Amino acid sequence: MFFVILLYVFALILDREVPTYYNKDSTMAVRTTATVVGMGFRPQPMVDDSLIRVSNDLYEQKRIASSLRLYRDVYLIQKTDAKAEPCTELDPASELVPGTACSFSWFDIVSTQDHPCSDNNMYGFKHEEPCVLVKLNKVYGWTPTKGPLPIHIQGLRNIHNNKSIAKPDVYITCDGTNPSDRDAQTEMVYYSLEKPSGSSKYGVIPNYYFPYRNARDHVQPFVLVQFKNLPLHRLISITCRAWSPGIEHETRGMRGMVAFQLYRSQVAE
């Protein structure tokens, strides 16, 4: 009985919206001054499997498209009565009333059924050019740091001044994990809020969508990466990274990155 009373008191004093410890005041900042930012990807038909199968088999295409469609419908589409407001550089998420989310939906990036990653195209799997959704994990209160662009992104943007101050956006890039994977010369196209029509260099998650504050109708911003020219019957390992002055990369703990594999096969017709 005493234990039940303790649980009741604990439930009364526990804040349901704001964690007691978060960011640099939590274990997420152990061994570093940066906050640990994790990443995720979809589709992931099996929770414990990072392999994405690409095939000309219609059953397999429908199966994996169904997985991504379900994730989209549950997590990436705001309801019509959502408590949400448009977020911009002038009106960022940090200025929102508590409990209000930024207006954002899957359709802000994939706006028509002609889009390569649309449902009609089975998210690219119909043409064996899969679209993989890459996102940051939700980290309460975290905001990208303003500062010089990471050197990797400076090169992609033809910026060579390390002291150049940039908007604190988060850049997403993907590449083969190993030299043999990079030798496959797989073409990648990034679809994001900055460029829904696609970019061959990187995707961008705008800084004004941060911080996340546990709003009920929040939709986590993401980047779609379409993979073209995948070789047949060859396993390709891909690592995607998030780039921002406040994000560290560590392979062992998968800090600031996510890895998955692509395998394209064809059945006899």
Q: Could you read off the pLDDT of 54-111 as tens digits, one per residue?
A: 999 999 999 999 999 999 999 999 988 999 999 999 999 999 999 999 999 999 999 9
Query: Under a CB-based contact definition with an 8 Å cutoff, are residues 121 and 219 in contact?
Result: no
Is 141 a residue whose pLDDT tops 60?
Answer: yes
pLDDT for the residue numbered 2: 55
CA distances from 99 to 14, 85, 216, 237 (A): 17, 11, 7, 39
Q: Could you tell me what percent of the chain has a pLDDT over 70?
A: 83
pTM for the predicted model, two decimal places: 0.86
Strands 131-136 and 147-148: unpaired
Instruction: Tell me: cis bond preceding 196? Omega within 30 of 0 counts.
Output: no
pLDDT for the residue numbered 27: 47
Domain count of the fold of the chain:
1
pLDDT for the residue numbered 248: 85
Averaged pLDDT of the chain: 85
Is 205 a residue whose pLDDT tops 50?
Answer: yes
Q: 40: which 2 tokens?
A: 């995720």
CA pseudo-torsion sign 109, 113, 119, 122: negative
**Distance separating alpha carbons of residues 104 and 109, to the nearest angstrom:** 9
Range scoring the smallest mean pLDDT among 37-41, 135-139, 148-152: 148-152
Give residue 210's domain range: 2-265
Query: Under a CB-based contact definition with an 8 Å cutoff, are residues 262 and 176 in contact?
Result: no
Give the CATH number for residue 135: 2.60.40.1660
Is 151 a residue whose pLDDT tops 50?
Answer: yes
pLDDT band at 8 (very low <50, low <70, confident <90, very high): very low
